[in-house]
Amino acid sequence: MSERQGQARPDGGCPAAGTTSGEPLRVLALGSCRVHKPLLSAHRLGDIRYLNRPFTLWRRVYIHDVHAALQFVRLACGELAMPAELRPFACDGGLRPHASMGRAVALADAIVIESCTDKHYSVGDWTIDLNELTARIVKPAGSAGREWRRTIERRQRPSEALVREVEAALQAHWRTGWQFNDGHRRLLRDLAFRYLPQEEIAEGLLRLQQRLGRPLLVVSHVAVSLPDGRYLAERLRHVEKTLAAARLAGLPCLDPRDFVQRDGQVRALDHRGTDYNHYAGAYMPIVARELVAALRRHVPTPVTA
């Protein structure tokens, strides 16, 4: 057995792991569908072992910022207990940690972390997912929900009148207490927003690597071009921020722009390049190949004695 395999961590967290030379690299993904789906494709081809698979058969745990990744790891290892009313706002279906999550963290030889936004939403010390916030509050509440989010993103506190207008819209939309509950009420009044600076992203990446004791490959979002040929400015800004943060932390990174530009956005992204957030299904094996190649370049092959 190697020094790493099965060895308890000195900080009391998840144990370390190793693998046998020649076996596929065991990879844990902390990111969006842009890393999960290609890594699952690579798993099916036998190029890696995708460790998220056992606990994501029904619902993927998608993560978008570095604080959400740290939060997930600590939840998976039993170090935190998230309030039940906030769990649905942390990931699709509610974040319910169980033993298979901790085992996946323990077994990983490498972590692929996609830091794909610098927008950070929180309630107290808890990170809230942008997609769930949109799906559970902003869209169902219509114009009131959009005004509420604009107020939050201006870093202002929404008035009680606006909050009650959003609540009324949500109650009319959901109609049951199970769907509209104390979690909604808490977020409407207590949600905070800020942009993460480059230095904080770098610090979070380093904390994640130190916490896990595994090699990290950092992946940015995809820098995309508009019909007039210009880059989407906001996207380019946080892509460059992510890559700079990875360099500041001394971590290897993969910029999807390299292969998307090589092969063309029309081919790479869904709906002939007009879906700026999703790869085309037929392009997924190419993304898988690029991720596996980057892992092989930057992650040493674990060998047991």
CATH 3.40.50.1110 placement within the chain: 25-118+197-298
- Residue 56: predicted pLDDT: 58
CA-based torsion, 245, 249, 250, 255: positive or negative: negative
**Rounded Cα gap, residues 125 and 276, in angstroms:** 31
Q: List the structure tokens of 262.
A: 């090589």
pLDDT mean over 84-113: 81
Domain 25-118+197-298 -> CATH class:
alpha beta
Q: How confident is the model at residue 133 (pLDDT cuts 50, 70, 90)?
A: very high
Q: pLDDT: is 183 or 94 the higher one?
A: 183
Whether residue 1 has pLDDT greater than 50: no
Q: How far apart are the first and last CA of the chain?
A: 6
pLDDT mean over 200-219: 95
Phi, psi of 218 (to 5 degrees): -90, 130
Helix (H) / strand (E) containing 48: strand 48-50
Whether residue 58 has pLDDT greater than 90: no
Whether residue 20 has pLDDT greater than 70: no
pLDDT mean over 199-206: 98
Neighbours of 203 (CB within 10 A): 16
The identity of residue 181, as a single letter, is: N
**Rounded Cα gap, residues 95 and 84, in angstroms:** 9
- Residue 17: predicted pLDDT: 40
pLDDT tens column, 59-87:
678 899 999 999 988 888 888 888 988 98
Neighbours of 163 (CB within 10 A): 18
pLDDT tens column, 136-170:
999 999 999 999 999 999 999 999 999 999 999 99
* Contact between residue 188 and residue 180 where contact means Cβ atoms under 8 Å apart: no
CA-based torsion, 47, 48, 54, 58: positive or negative: negative
Residue with tokens 């901790």: 102
Q: How confident is the model at residue 93 (pLDDT cuts 50, 70, 90)?
A: low
- Residue 159: predicted pLDDT: 96
- Residue 218: predicted pLDDT: 98
- Residue 28: predicted pLDDT: 93
* Contact between residue 264 and residue 273 where contact means Cβ atoms under 8 Å apart: yes
pTM: 0.86
pLDDT tens column, 221-263:
999 999 999 999 999 999 999 999 999 999 999 999 999 999 9
- Residue 91: predicted pLDDT: 77
**Rounded Cα gap, residues 78 and 99, in angstroms:** 9
Whether residue 197 has pLDDT greater than 90: yes
Whether residue 305 has pLDDT greater than 80: no
SS3 content of the chain, % helix, strand, coil (to 5): 50, 10, 40
Q: How confident is the model at residue 21 (pLDDT cuts 50, 70, 90)?
A: low
Q: What is the DSSP letter of 88?
A: G
Q: What is the DSSP letter of 195?
A: E
Lowest mean pLDDT among 43-47, 88-92, 93-97, 204-208: 93-97
The identity of residue 66, as a single letter, is: V
Where do the H-state alpha helices sit in 175-249? 182-190, 198-212, 233-249
- Residue 98: predicted pLDDT: 67
- Residue 179: predicted pLDDT: 73
- CA 13 to chain CA centroid, Å, is 21
